[in-house]
Chain A
Amino acid sequence: MTDRYSFSLTTFSPSGKLVQIEYALNAVAQGVTSIGIKATNGVVIATEKKTASPLIDDSSLEKVATICPNIGIVYSGMGPDFRVLVAKARKAAQKYKQVYDEYPPTGILVKEVASVMQEFTQSGGVRPFGVSLLIAGYDQTGPTLYQVDPSGSYWAWKASAIGKNMINAKTFLEKRYSDDIEIEDAVHTAILTLKEGFEGQMTENSIEIGIIGNGVNLFNSDKDRPLFKKLAPSEVKDYLANIA
């Protein structure tokens, strides 16, 4: 049906779709689940670190990444595509800092990343990125969580899941989310949501969690500015112990 229109990205199909984007979303749906939850005082993002073999050194794998001190990112889909976007996002954040001497508000950075992803749906000779991103940030308007899709469309969530188990995870989140949830509860809920669709044993090395909430700034310019940080395995272990 859509075969005639699926080779060239810049061609619309008769139904008005860009089939390459549809296929990119399929690639995302095959990736491991990632969760994001926005709390009143911060945001948490988490994902499974699924390795193909127990021989892989999973400490070298980074799925939750920092873009700049106030923004973190996680993905579902193709790892290599994610790394390209992380590099572009980091560069965009530093470019902003060079002009304004402050890090970009989350919404501004999300627009930049989404704009890059959109470019790859309208340029010749390229393919869309096979990832959906969850971008968590804290700026002067407070904590925010955004999802960016391969098409380049983005929107803010209170809580969301992307990847393989997203439908079940979102149903689970709908029941458990409340507008006044705090960051500690949010981490707890994120782990429980991941556990729902987890294949195998969940340990502190098989999941990655990143949070942004109130913390101390390393760079000495703004005190009490929230910093994005990834939880160390020992911290994850404590949270897991509370669930068991």
Chain B
Amino acid sequence: MSIMSYNGGALVAMVGKNCVAIASDKRLGVQLMTVSTEFPKMYQATEKSYVGFAGLATDSQTLSERLRFKINMYRLREEREIEPKTLSNMISSTLYEKRFGPYFVEPVVAGLNKKNEPFICVMDVIGCLNEADDFVVSGTSSQSLYGMCESLWEPDLEPEDLFETISQALLNSIDRDCLSGWGALVHIITPERVITRTLKGRQD
């Protein structure tokens, strides 16, 4: 039994033309038993950035609350919103603080900075930052996701095309993973607005 596959879940983020997309599955399980089918793993950090946590669900929830605290304090102190890059470094530091008793999550950050430039990154359980200019993956279906993204992704996809790409990559990966699935939630972040869509996949 591995802690990282106790609850199950899949996360992926991609960069498009002046937009980013982040998507996750909706399953929450306790090993082989499915407990909830409405458990997306993403949380909105600021108006134009999202954070997702794959791994142990309790740590995902706790970390999202701790992050909300830190983001709010940042906003009050600095009188401005936190940028995605800065947010990622903050999460990285937060994870490393628990180096010898870590949070069992692998976060994914996706957002647009104040110049509307896309930013995505993924981290390991102790905060190793891995910034990418194409796509990042996390969770129990990460192997399949790597394969799907590598074949489907291309640079400069428009928001609607990016949506199709990320949806196909996620859906087909979680269908091969018994611990992820029960539909998906996709957020497309553009300079004007965030488009959220729910996907209905194989309900098993």
Residues of A participating in the B interface, judged by any CB pair closer than 8 Å:
98-102, 105, 107-108, 111
Contacts and interface: CB of A to CB of B under 8 A. Distances in A.
Contacts, number: 18
A101 B77 contact: no
B196 to A, nearest CB: 28
A101 B86 contact: yes
Interface string B74-102: 00011000000110011001000000000
A100 B90 contact: yes
Contacts of A99: 89-90, 93
Interface string B103-121: 0000000000000000000
A102 B93 CA distance: 13
A98 B93 contact: yes
A203 B77 CA distance: 42
Contacts of B89: 99-102
Nearest to B93: A99
Contacts of B85: 101
A242 B35 CA distance: 79
A33 B197 CA distance: 63
A108 B86 CA distance: 15
> Which of A98, A99, A102, A108 neighbours the largest number of chain B CB atoms within 10 Å of its CB?
A99
B77 A100 contact: no
**B contact face: mostly helix, strand, loop, or mixed:** helix
A84 B89 CA distance: 29
A108 B90 contact: no
A102 B113 CA distance: 15
4 pairs of A and B residues whose beta carbons are closest in the complex: A101-B89, A99-B93, A100-B86, A100-B89
> Which of A99, A100, A101 neighbours the largest number of chain B CB atoms within 10 Å of its CB?
A100
18 contacts: A98-B93, A99-B89, A99-B90, A99-B93, A100-B86, A100-B89, A100-B90, A100-B93, A101-B85, A101-B86, A101-B89, A102-B86, A102-B89, A105-B78, A107-B78, A108-B77, A108-B78, A111-B77
Contacts of A98: 93
A108 B93 CA distance: 19
A107 B78 CA distance: 8
Contacts of A107: 78
A101 B86 CA distance: 7
Contacts of A101: 85-86, 89
A223 to B, nearest CB: 15
Interface in B32-90: 77-78, 85-86, 89-90
A108 B85 CA distance: 19
